[in-house]
Amino acid sequence: MTKYAPQLRVPATYMRGGTSKGVFFNLIDLPEAAQKPGPARDALLLRVIGSPDPYGKQTDGMGGATSSTSKTVILSKSEREGYDVDYLFGQVAIDKPFVDWSGNCGNLTAAVGAFAISNGLVDASKIPQNGIATVNIWQANINKAIIANVPITDGDVQETGDFELDGVTFPAAEVEVAFVDPADGEGAIFPTGRLVDTLEVPGVGSLQATMINAGIPTIFINAEDIGYTGTELQDDINNDAEALGKFEAIRAHGAVQMGLIKDIGEAATRQHTPKVAFVAPPKGYKASSGKDILGSDIDVLVRALSMGKLHHAMMGTAAVAIAAAAAIPGTLVNLAAGGENRESVTFGHPSGTLRVGAKATFDNNQWHIQQAVMSRSARVLMEGWVRVPQI
């Protein structure tokens, strides 16, 4: 009889953050080989989530078989001056043996501060008995600062509340998250140097595109240029293989033009970034929950794809990109929103609406965004240990 090794037992917390959920780890709790980047870490996280799964269900793991639920987070006490915690995000592919470390998850950011406080990664002197704890987060994927304001009651993280977030069924406590200087590099919000580019995509055509790097690299195109209205829901696109193929072609060619990859063949190994989104002027529609969204309640319509599928709501980092683009006159997002100067934008997505604030300034011939601010919520779903067969 063949003898097999017992499963590993790894401390973990399953959390919802914004409209995503994932498995959170304290770095020091990982097996020694997985405490540093490399194949051992990737293999562990793939097995935790249940990938690769040719059935596309992640039944034998913690993943939920969508881009929003196939996520992992590794946190550690920060050694950087001025920061409490280092936040590393891994987007796990569903059908491939691949963990993408190229970008951040803005939604799960809302849960980082809570996890850090509850797991002793934030100095106790910073946590009030009652009030708001400010957690300074270093986002290690993109080397950016994030500030999370976490509510505290009787010395513990307050998770319950009446804050409602479209795309999340139940109310919870509000967590305000600020993404500081969200542009990539030295203020390079527009990698091409232009607010609007012409993007040539074989099989699709010539498209106007705003390619921005704020929050996460994102390619914005006009909905009408690709035959959509901007009111689409997931089934309108995710059941259309031809449409998904076109969006992937747009993403790959845009990634080349943004300088993220050298040729379109590399796009397959960089699935998390860039994102593709399409925009349209405000118009009423029925959200996926059946809720009526009035055109008068929003500034612009936005639909975005993540990991090759239309997102059920909006990625938090893409919301930062939307706010940044809306704040800069002349971008496709700003024009779809009416072309006005603005410091906030309320956009319609498949699950409802979201308001995000961002202020743009123009200095030294470059656009700058000091920070983008949004409200999310987060809570612990389960905590204890995740069991993983030894790799």
Catalytic residue among 15, 211, 307, 315: 315
Report how far residue 144's alpha carbon sits from residue 109's, in angstroms, rounded to the nearest whole number: 12
80: three-class secondary structure by DSSP = coil
Number of other residues whose CB lies within 10 A of the CB of residue 270: 18
Report how far residue 140's alpha carbon sits from residue 315's, in angstroms, rounded to the nearest whole number: 18
**What angle do helix axes 106-118 and 316-327 make, rounded to 10 degrees?**
120
Catalytic residue among 15, 62, 105, 258: 105
Q: Quick one: tokens of 247?
A: 């969006």
Contact 29, 11 (CB under 8 A): yes
Q: Quick one: tokens of 135?
A: 């957690």
CA-based nearest residue to 120, from 32, 34, 28, 30: 28
Number of other residues whose CB lies within 10 A of the CB of residue 268: 12
Report how far residue 120's alpha carbon sits from residue 124's, in angstroms, rounded to the nearest whole number: 8
Q: What is the largest CA-CA distance in the chain?
A: 73
> Residue 163 carries which DSSP code?
B
Say whether 258 is catalytic: no
Say whether 374 is catalytic: no
Contact 85, 77 (CB under 8 A): yes
Report how far residue 49's alpha carbon sits from residue 63's, in angstroms, rounded to the nearest whole number: 5
Report how far residue 163's alpha carbon sits from residue 171's, in angstroms, rounded to the nearest whole number: 5
Task: Give the helix ranges, DSSP H, for 119-178.
Answer: none
CA-based nearest residue to 258, from 209, 221, 211, 306: 211
Catalytic residues: 105, 315
